[in-house]
Amino acid sequence: MVIIQSTGLAILLCVITMLCWGSWANTQKLASREWKFQLFYWDYSIGVLLLSLIFAFTLGSMGTAGRSFLADLGQAEGASIILPILGGVVFNLSNILLVAAIDIAGMAVAFPIGVGIALVEGVILTYILKPAGNPYLLFLGVGFVVLAIIVDAIAYKRIGSGEKVPTKGIVISIAAGVLMGSFFYLVAAGMSQNPDPAVLDAGKVGNYSAVFLAMVGLFLSSFLWNTIVMKKPFTGDPVPMSDYFKGDLKLHSIGILGGIIWCIGFSLNLIAAGKAGYAISYGLGQGATLIGAIWGVFIWKEFKGAKPGTNSLLALMFVLYLVGLGTIIVASN
């Protein structure tokens, strides 16, 4: 299996994670012009599983360090298999809830609450699991990122209608954040905790096996979670499964691409975690909100026509993000 022994390279992979996690939703935005998110999500689920298999039988099976993918799965004990799968199931539910919250309460409420809770909870849990880096700088960096998310929320409100936010949207946002903050910990808990990423603990799984198992959990749980939100959506009418088969090759390809992009980020994040530490890799990865904001501001023109002064808030948001991410990077040294 291919492993990372350089802290600098590990940080670079975390930055790529941030780019992937902040960009995959563009595919959903493209697809939503023609069909519902629930239909897009089936292809997204296929994409994440497909990419996990590609990485497992390439990077996860190359070289002499560690264990090859199939050998790693073959020696894994019960909890090390169950925990990553459960992590995928939990992430899947949180992801669907977050999208529902955005639909009900808007980006300005759902993203700061959901991602903010997930960021803080995820960093705390993963640091407890495997402490790495300077904790003071790490949590200071997380604090700057949380402030950036809050400023982002204020900026988004300046393009809203000023209507009262439904309580349902806030509750769903909180639930999404709590679940999302725990998924990475569940996946990591089933992995080898040896300080040397080239030496894997017996009975525990390595990075590539953990990604695959988590994506199996995501894919299989879609038949539960996505089916429920198709039949009982939080808003709008039920979505019949027959509509999925009416999509053309372009629509299906967009969804699969979205899953591949997200899973590339997840895979690289776990690969980097062996050297950088789970808390640092997860914290940097959640800087994806910055990338999402960049797409929204410069490509989708979401702030066009916003109230005067919004550009200053956006500039402050970007500065806080950069300071926060820079502090997290310094914490890894």
Print the SS3 string covering the chain: CCCCCCHHHHHHHHHHHHHHHHHCHHHHHHHCCCCCHHHHHHHHHHHHHHHHHHHHHCHHHCCCCCCCHHHHHHHCCHHHHHHHHHHHHHHHHHHHHHHHHHHHHCHHHHHHHHHHHHHHHHHHHHHHHCCCCCHHHHHHHHHHHHHHHHHHHHHHHCCCCCCCCCHHHHHHHHHHHHHHHHHHHHHHHCECCCCCCCCCCCCCECHHHHHHHHHHHHHHHHHHHHHHHHHCCCCCCCCCHHHHHHCCHHHHHHHHHHHHHHHHHHHHHHHHHHHHCHHHHHHHHCCHHHHHHHHHHHHCCCCCCCCCCHHHHHHHHHHHHHHHHHHHHHHCC
pLDDT (0 to 100) of residue 107: 67
> To the nearest 10°, the Cα dihedral for 171, 96, 51, 257?
-120
Cα 119 to Cα 50, 122, 149, 177, 266, distances in angstroms: 27, 5, 10, 8, 15
pLDDT over 80 at 2, yes or no: yes
What mean pLDDT is reported for the chain?
90
pLDDT (0 to 100) of residue 257: 97
- pLDDT tens for residues 96-129? 998 888 778 766 677 778 888 898 899 999 999 9
pLDDT over 90 at 77, yes or no: yes
What is the maximum span of the chain, computed from C-alpha positions, in angstroms? 60
CA-CA distance, 3 to 255, in Å (whole number)?
A: 29
For the full predicted model, state whether its pTM sits above 0.85: yes
pLDDT band for position 90 (cuts 50, 70, 90): very high
Q: What average pLDDT does range 30-36 have in this prediction?
A: 87
Contact residues for 153 (Cβ-Cβ < 8 A; gap 6+): 108, 109, 111, 112
Is residue 233 within 8 Å of 239, Cβ to Cβ? yes
Q: Is 86 exposed, middle or buried (0-12, 13-18, 19+ CB in 10 A)?
A: buried
Which of 265, 275, 333, 320 lies closest to 141 in space, CA to CA? 320
> To the nearest 10°, the Cα dihedral for 212, 258, 124, 150?
-170
Q: What average pLDDT does range 300-311 have in this prediction?
A: 83
pLDDT (0 to 100) of residue 167: 83
CA-CA distance, 292 to 155, in Å (whole number)?
A: 14
Name the residue type at position 111.
Answer: F
Q: Which two tokens stand for residue 132?
A: 């790495």
Sign, Cα dihedral of 287, 291, 296, 297: positive
Q: Which two tokens stand for residue 228?
A: 């429920």
pLDDT (0 to 100) of residue 56: 97
pLDDT (0 to 100) of residue 298: 85
- pLDDT tens for residues 225-269? 999 999 999 888 999 999 999 999 999 999 999 999 999 999 999
Q: What average pLDDT does range 297-322 have in this prediction?
A: 87
Contact residues for 161 (Cβ-Cβ < 8 A; gap 6+): none
- pLDDT tens for residues 141-176? 999 989 988 888 888 778 765 666 678 888 898 999
